[in-house]
């Protein structure tokens, strides 16, 4: 067995979009798993917008990654050695193993995944955090009701592409906003979105929103914030519910951006805006996974994957994802079974 473990560590706190020099690729020594521990070989790493916040040294909902620490992140992989009977050798697991080839785990906070039920990458989106985020954000934070007119920003991303499909499953009309014509076609042709537009090629966001939501917006699932969300405020219906999942347009700004104040709209429309974090629903992940797996197996829920090869390209994959290169879920392939 190898004793070398390649890791990507945070080398500096990024300003704006992260650069190569903000990370370092380190080859560290791998120890054997101790009592109750297991050794995981990571096959796929998930890169997600929330990681940008962890690179900052600022108060947020979680501690920042320290300089010199392995970047945090979830991956799926195979148990190579195990002293933990819950996770025998040869089984597959998902967990916060970080940006590295191998990880030692005591088994806490990780979960066993079933490669017979779905390819293991699915546990990083449809049957994992993006899926749970879409599920609880839409059903709980936004209080989705049958017949709602739903609008999703960042609609072709890992979370957004699931949100739209869930809303369709629940009998709603769904419109999406995304950043390329390819994504718009994907939303409409592959995911069943009723309407969608490319925010990069419209010169009037408000008008484009009215065109894709001619009956106004009852539920707005927001992944992006910024000018898109400003424009959506005008299109809310009375009693609208806005779920704030992410604000990706804001994460790489060097200085907080000013925008039109949104709260007056909330009075006029008796609307509710709710920020949520998927971790708060931890005790209900099993329930969500059961539903998501059912819809995945019936073909009602799908998601493209954009896979970048090689751990060393994880920083690039992360930045490209933040810039919207991915349609569907951005992943990094570290090892494969082949």
Give the total of residues touching its own copies (CB under 8 A): 35
What does the block give as tokens for 336?
Answer: 């494969």
Nearer to its own copies among residue 194 and residue 222 (C-beta) = 222
| Three-class HEC string of 188-229 | HHHCCCCEEEECCCCCCHHHHHHHHCCCCEEEEEECCCHHHH
Of residues 130, 259, 137, the one with CA closest to residue 205:
259
> b/e map of 114-141 (b: 16 or more CB within 10 Å)?
eeeebebbbbbbbbbbbbbbbbbbbbeb
**Phi first, then psi: what are they for 11, rounded to 5°?**
-100, -30
What does the block give as tokens for 24?
Answer: 């370092």
In the complex, minimum distance from the CB of residue 113 to its own copies, in angstroms, rounded to a whole number: 27
148: left (phi over 0), alpha (psi -120 to 50) or beta: beta
Asked whether position 268 contacts its own copies by CB under 8 A, the answer is yes
In the complex, minimum distance from the CB of residue 238 to its own copies, in angstroms, rounded to a whole number: 8
Asked whether position 245 contacts its own copies by CB under 8 A, the answer is yes
Asked whether position 247 contacts its own copies by CB under 8 A, the answer is yes
Q: Which of 115, 192, 206, 226 binds its own copies (CB under 8 A)?
A: 226
Q: What x-and-dash track marks residues 170-189 binding its own copies by CB under 8 A?
A: --------------------
Asked whether position 256 contacts its own copies by CB under 8 A, the answer is yes
In the complex, minimum distance from the CB of residue 61 to its own copies, in angstroms, rounded to a whole number: 5
Count the neighbouring beta carbons within 10 Å of the beta carbon of residue 83: 16
Asked whether position 215 contacts its own copies by CB under 8 A, the answer is no
Nearer to its own copies among residue 279 and residue 300 (C-beta) = 279
Of 68-76, 179-187, 223-231, 324-332, which segment contacts its own copies by CB under 8 A?
Answer: 223-231
Q: Which residues bind its own copies (CB under 8 A)?
A: 59-61, 222, 225-226, 229, 244-247, 250, 256-277, 280
């Amino acid at each position: 067995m190898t004793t070398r473990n390649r890791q990507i560590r945070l080398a500096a706190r990024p300003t704006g979009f992260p650069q190569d020099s903000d990370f370092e690729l380190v080859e560290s020594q791998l120890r054997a798993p101790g009592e109750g521990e297991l050794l995981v070989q990571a096959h796929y790493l998930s890169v997600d917008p929330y990681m940008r916040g962890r690179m900052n040294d600022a108060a947020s909902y979680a501690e920042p990654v320290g300089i010199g620490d392995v970047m945090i992140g979830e991956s799926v992989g195979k148990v190579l050695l195990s002293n933990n009977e819950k996770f025998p050798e040869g089984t597959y697991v998902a967990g916060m193993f970080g940006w590295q080839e191998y990880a030692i785990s005591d088994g806490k906070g990780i979960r066993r995944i079933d490669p017979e039920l779905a390819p293991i990458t699915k546990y990083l989106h449809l049957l994992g955090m993006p899926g749970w985020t879409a599920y609880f954000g839409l059903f709980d934070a936004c209080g989705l009701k049958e017949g709602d007119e739903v609008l999703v920003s960042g609609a072709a991303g890992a979370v957004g592409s699931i949100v739209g499909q869930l809303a369709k499953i629940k009998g709603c009309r769904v419109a999406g906003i995304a950043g390329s014509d390819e994504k718009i076609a994907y939303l409409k042709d592959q995911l069943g979105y009723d309407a969608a537009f490319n925010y990069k090629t419209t010169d009037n966001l408000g008008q484009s929103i009215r065109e894709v939501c001619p009956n106004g917006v009852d539920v707005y699932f927001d992944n992006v914030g910024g000018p898109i969300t400003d424009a959506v405020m005008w299109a809310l219906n009375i009693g609208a519910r806005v779920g704030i999942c992410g604000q990706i347009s804001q994460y790489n700004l060097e200085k907080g951006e000013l925008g039109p104040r949104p709260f007056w709209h909330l009075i006029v429309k008796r609307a509710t805006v709710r920020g949520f974090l998927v971790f708060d629903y931890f005790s209900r992940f099993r329930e969500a996974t059961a539903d998501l797996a059912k819809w995945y197996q019936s073909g009602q829920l799908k998601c493209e994957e954009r896979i970048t090869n090689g751990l060393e390209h994880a920083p690039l994959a992360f930045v490209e994802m933040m810039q919207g290169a991915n349609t569907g879920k951005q992943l990094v392939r570290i090892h494969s079974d082949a």
